[in-house]
């Protein structure tokens, strides 16, 4: 009341009914005029609403098809599109090297900060940390653990998951039941993370269920998190406060807690076993968690890498490692089923290798890596349907940035979206929007490789990519070797792009191959 009576002539009613609404309208009129004329990004084309408010981006997220909108906008407006008052999406392939450069890298925008969880360790995780120096110091500690050779130390445990997957699929075949390959792909991806970080499968596939509702928790969490990430920073506290009143948001906060607890449980349970296995008579299991424990024991104090930092590794793996990998598995199987000729050719390649005695069952990574069409198929699926399908925003550096012939001043956001770049006809060919794995067996393959952004680029490239590549190159050939699969219905899949572009059900029917 006091504030409104500072100017005694105006009553509370006048303030609320006239002055505040007028000030609000005036503010918006001035802002719109500024955003459309004098603003440093005003010359960059794009939807009117995007140029004046981030609400446009939020609406696209809620529609779940930002990648299609972006492809359409780029074909309409060219390589630069303003997708928020202070943010530009770029479709110019020459910007890859500039935006995701290794030397003096560009800073991530605050899109990323909402994904972090400060409650686990005093250090930030690699995905959400914005400071590049902190990022490189912390990532250096664990980089080796995520290398391909290190992941493959656990290959026999991944084999255990592939075997169980095929056993379960076989049971569905015998019972003549439809198998949701989409759901099972995510169960598989989670159980592999279990093997690598927990020394055991979590039990998704064993019990044929969403273990402890983790997938449900992630699905609940993604929409509010993604909306918050693309919202203006001043709106974010409001969204968080809404958690108190909106049940979906409240569930999302609980879901984070659920996943944090799961990660902590993973590590503490394993730490107990680690104590036990210090006994020289018990052989050490060389999975990823074991290697983190080794770092902690040998250099933990010096590097400030203790039990909470290991918990953070497990948390990120649970969060970032299941949806992404499952999306890539679904994409590969889906495109193969939609293109039976390619499927037959891939199976012939497998059969030929098996006939020469060059294939184990489950298939080993090194064996799969020698099969050109199989590798091309996986890459082509990740090209057409990358797991992450929003722009990966960075701040223009000191002195600004010249991209696609336009100057972006320092501090403004600009990013590339894999789901746009991967459709570039100049790089991938006139048929870039078609599934044609054979393109990877042609002479342009090296050039195309340089333009793939499915695992990101530069210093912030995906840390877990070798885990996922191992899963893909093992499960896909093992399934194709043992089963003929086809979709149970003809309808195309549904997708929902919330940073991870997750597909809906992928019901299949299968028969055993002899
Ligand atoms: C097919 C599977 C996967 C795909 C397609 C994928 C995709 C990506 C992409 C595109 C980025 C870059 C984001 C950016 O720069 O904005 C990224 C970063 C990251 N990913 Fe993955 N990811 C996958 C699997 C995994 C797994 C299994 C893990 C963990 C075990 C993981 C953990 C991370 C982390 C920690 C980062 C941040 C890296 C950094 O900034 O240093 N990802 N991922």
d(CA 476, CA 333): 8
Query: What's the pLDDT at 275?
Result: 64
Backbone angles phi, psi at 2, to 5 degrees: -55, -45
Nearest CA to ligand 1 atom 31: 464
pLDDT digits (tens, 9 = 90+) for 382-395: 999 999 999 999 99
Strand ranges inside 243-305, DSSP E: none
Please compute, for residue 324, the number of CA atoms within 13 A of its CA located in the half-sphere on the CB side. 21
Low-confidence winner among 80-94, 242-256, 340-354, 358-372 (lowest mean pLDDT)? 242-256
161 assigned to a ligand binding site? no
Mutate to test the pocket of ligand 1, among 320, 461, 466 (most ligand atoms within 8 A of CB): 320
CA of 492 to the centre of ligand 1 (A): 27
- Ligand 1 atom nearest the C-alpha of 393 is 16
Give the per-residue pLDDT at 274.
66
Q: pLDDT tens, 35-70?
A: 999 999 999 999 999 999 999 999 999 999 999 999
Whole-number average pLDDT of the chain: 93
Give the distance (Å) from ligand 1 centre to CA of residue 460.
8
Query: What is residue 16's DSSP assignment?
Result: I
- 418 CA from centroid of ligand 1 (Å): 13
| pTM of the model as a whole | 0.94
- CA nearest ligand 1 atom 28, residue: 464
65 CA distance to ligand 1 centroid (A)? 21
Question: What does the domain layout of the chain look like in residue ranges?
Answer: 1-38, 39-512
Q: What is the 3-state secondary structure (H, E, C) of 64-132?
A: CCHHHHHHHHHHHHCCEEEEECCEEEECCHHHHHHHCCCCCCCCECCCCHHHCCCCCCCCCCCCCCCCH
Q: Which residues pair with 349 in a beta bridge?
A: none
Alpha carbons 52 and 321: distance in angstroms, whole number: 36
Per-residue pLDDT at 198: 81
The pLDDT of residue 243 is 66
Distance 455 CA to ligand 1 centre (A): 6
Pocket of ligand 1 (CB under 6 A): 126-127, 139, 316-317, 320-321, 324-325, 328, 387-388, 392, 454-456, 460, 462-465, 467-468
- Tell me what pLDDT residue 1 has: 47
Closest residue by CA, ligand 1 atom 5: 387
Instruction: Looking at the CA of residue 322, tell me the nearest atom of ligand 1.
Output: 27
Q: At 300, list the tokens.
A: 């933990």
Best residue among 90, 465, 497, 499 to mutate for probing ligand 1, ranked by most atoms within 8 Å of CB: 465
Phi, psi for 180 (deg, rounded to 5): -85, 95
For residue 268, what are the contacts with CB-CB under 8 A and spacing of at least 6?
Answer: 307
DSSP state for residue 164 in the 8-state scheme = H
pLDDT on residue 475:
98
Atom of ligand 1 nearest to the CA of 135: 41
214-230 and 181-198 are packed helices; what angle lies between their axes, rounded to 10 degrees? Answer: 90
Decide if the complex's ipTM is over 0.90.
yes
From 201, 379, 402, 416, select the one nearest 287 (Cα to Cα): 201
Q: What is the mean pLDDT of residues 100-122?
A: 93
Q: Are 364 and 410 in contact (CB under 8 A)?
A: no
In the reported structure, the alpha carbon of residue 18 is separated from the centroid of ligand 1 by a whole-number distance in angstroms of 51
pLDDT at 221 over 60: yes
DSSP labels, 191-205: HHHHHHHHSS--SHH
- The model's pLDDT over 415-449, given as tens digits with 9 standing for 90+, comes to 999 999 999 999 999 999 999 999 999 999 999 99
Cis preceding-peptide flag for 362 (omega within 30 of 0): yes
Question: What is 39-512's CATH number?
Answer: 1.10.630.10
Average pLDDT over residues 206-216: 92
């Amino acid at each position: 009341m006091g504030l409104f009576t500072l100017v005694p002539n105006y009553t509370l009613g006048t303030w609320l009914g006239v002055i505040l609404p007028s000030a609000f309208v005036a503010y918006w009129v001035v802002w719109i005029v500024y955003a459309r004329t004098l603003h440093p990004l005003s010359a960059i084309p794009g939807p009117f609403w995007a140029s004046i408010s981030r609400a446009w981006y939020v609406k696209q997220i809620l529609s779940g098809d930002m990648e299609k909108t972006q492809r359409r906008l780029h074909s309409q407006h060219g390589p630069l599109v303003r997708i928020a008052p202070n943010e530009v999406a770029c479709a110019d392939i020459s910007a890859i090297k500039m935006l995701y450069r290794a030397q003096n890298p560009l800073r991530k925008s605050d899109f990323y900060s909402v994904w972090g969880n400060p409650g686990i360790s005093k250090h930030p995780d690699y995905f959400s940390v914005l400071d590049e120096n902190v990022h490189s110091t912390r990532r250096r500690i664990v980089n080796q653990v995520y290398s391909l050779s290190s992941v493959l130390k656990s290959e026999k445990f991944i084999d255990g998951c592939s075997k169980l997957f095929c056993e379960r699929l076989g049971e569905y075949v015998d019972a003549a039941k439809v198998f949701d390959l989409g759901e099972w792909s995510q169960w598989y991806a989670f159980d592999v993370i279990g093997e690598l970080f927990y020394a055991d499968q979590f039990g998704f596939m064993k019990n044929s269920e969403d273990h402890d509702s983790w997938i449900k928790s992630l699905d609940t969490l993604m929409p509010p998190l993604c909306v918050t990430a693309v919202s203006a920073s001043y709106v974010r506290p409001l969204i968080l406060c809404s958690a108190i009143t909106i049940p979906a948001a409240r569930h999302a906060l609980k879901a984070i807690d659920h996943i944090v607890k799961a990660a902590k449980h993973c590590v503490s349970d394993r730490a107990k076993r680690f104590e036990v296995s210090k006994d020289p008579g018990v052989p050490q299991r060389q999975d990823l968690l074991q290697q983190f424990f080794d770092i902690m024991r040998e250099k933990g104090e010096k590097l400030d890498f203790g039990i909470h930092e290991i918990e953070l590794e497990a948390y990120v793996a649970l969060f970032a490692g299941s949806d992404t990998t499952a999306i890539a598995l679904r994409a590969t199987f889906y495109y193969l089923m939609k293109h039976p000729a390619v499927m037959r050719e891939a199976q012939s390649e497998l059969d030929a290798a098996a006939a020469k005695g060059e294939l184990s069952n489950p298939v080993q990574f090194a064996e799969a890596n020698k099969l050109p069409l199989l590798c091309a198929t996986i890459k082509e699926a990740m090209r057409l349907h990358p797991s992450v399908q929003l722009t990966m925003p960075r701040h223009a550096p000191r002195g600004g940035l010249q991209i696609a012939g336009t100057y972006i001043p320092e501090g403004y956001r600009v990013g590339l979206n894999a789901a746009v770049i991967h459709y570039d006809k100049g790089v991938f060919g006139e048929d870039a929007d078609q599934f044609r794995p054979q393109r990877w067996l042609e002479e342009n393959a090296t050039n195309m490789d340089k333009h793939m952004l499915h695992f990101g680029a530069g210093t912030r490239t995906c840390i877990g990519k070798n885990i996922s590549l191992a899963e893909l190159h093992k499960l896909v050939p093992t399934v194709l070797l043992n089963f003929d699969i086809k979709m149970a219905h003809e309808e195309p899949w549904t997708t929902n792009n919330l940073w991870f572009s997750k597909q809906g059900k992928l019901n299949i029917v299968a028969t055993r191959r002899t």
